[in-house]
Amino acid sequence: MPDPVTWFVAGLAMKAVDIFVESRQTKAEAEFQEEIAEINIEQAQADIAWVEKQTGKAVERHREAGEEFRGTQRAVIGHSAAKMAGTPLMIMQETQAKIEEDILAIEEHGAYQVSGYESQIEAYKAGKTYYEGLGKQAWLSGLLGMGSTFLTGYAQTYGMEHWPTFGQRKKTTYEDPWRLGGYY
């Protein structure tokens, strides 16, 4: 049967391997979260492109509809033989102003949606940076934990046999000049 020191060393080795495996798992989880953050960033960028495209289409459709409506207004006013001055002209100007207000509202709504996606991208980038650091830290922590386990085990197994604790020191009969009357 192996002596207790062998069992102790085997236990230390198992603990060190456990620390190493745990750090690798944490690193793998962090890398997975980094990949998810990158996918989310790409998706948000695609969403921004889609919103910008849809906003542009909506603005163009609204401009075309506005021009069609204004053309109909001109035709109705012309058909009624009214002058293109005074009240009919004011109505057409007001219509044009409303069309421009609507277009501005569409563009602002699109910009608002884009800013929301840009905020998401910044949050995903921050998360990715966090997980990159966590992965590096987990790997280093695992190595340090494994090393400290081995060093502690070594000190407990072999080092302490040769270094008695402070209370176990043997007292000699000669007086130490550097200590105030104490014995070494």
What pLDDT is stored for residue 13 in this prediction?
77
> Residue 60 is encoded by which pair of tokens?
């163009």
**Residue 68 three-state SS:** helix
The values of phi and psi at residue 183, to 5°, are -105, 145
For each of the chain's 184 residues, which pLDDT tens digit applies? 666 667 777 777 787 788 888 888 888 888 898 899 999 999 999 999 999 999 999 999 999 999 888 888 878 877 776 666 667 778 888 888 999 999 999 999 999 999 999 999 999 999 888 888 888 787 778 778 777 777 777 776 665 555 555 445 555 555 555 555 554 4
DSSP state of 183: B
Question: How far is residue 38's CA from residue 34's CA, in Å, rounded to a whole number?
Answer: 6
Handedness of CA 4, 5, 9, 10 (dihedral sign): negative
Return the closest-CA partner of residue 121 out of 55, 27, 53, 129.
129
Would you list the domain boundaries of the chain? Answer: 4-160
Question: How far is residue 144's CA from residue 75's CA, in Å, rounded to a whole number?
Answer: 84
What pLDDT is stored for residue 161 in this prediction?
55
What pLDDT is stored for residue 114 in this prediction?
93
What pLDDT is stored for residue 85 in this prediction?
63
What pLDDT is stored for residue 132 in this prediction?
85
What pLDDT is stored for residue 149 in this prediction?
76
- As a whole number of Å, the end-to-end CA separation of the chain is 41
Handedness of CA 169, 173, 176, 180 (dihedral sign): positive
What own/partner pairs with CB < 8 Å and gap ≥ 24 does 127-134 have? 127/33, 127/37, 128/33, 128/34, 128/37, 128/38, 128/41, 131/30, 131/31, 131/33, 131/34, 131/37, 132/30, 132/34, 134/26, 134/30
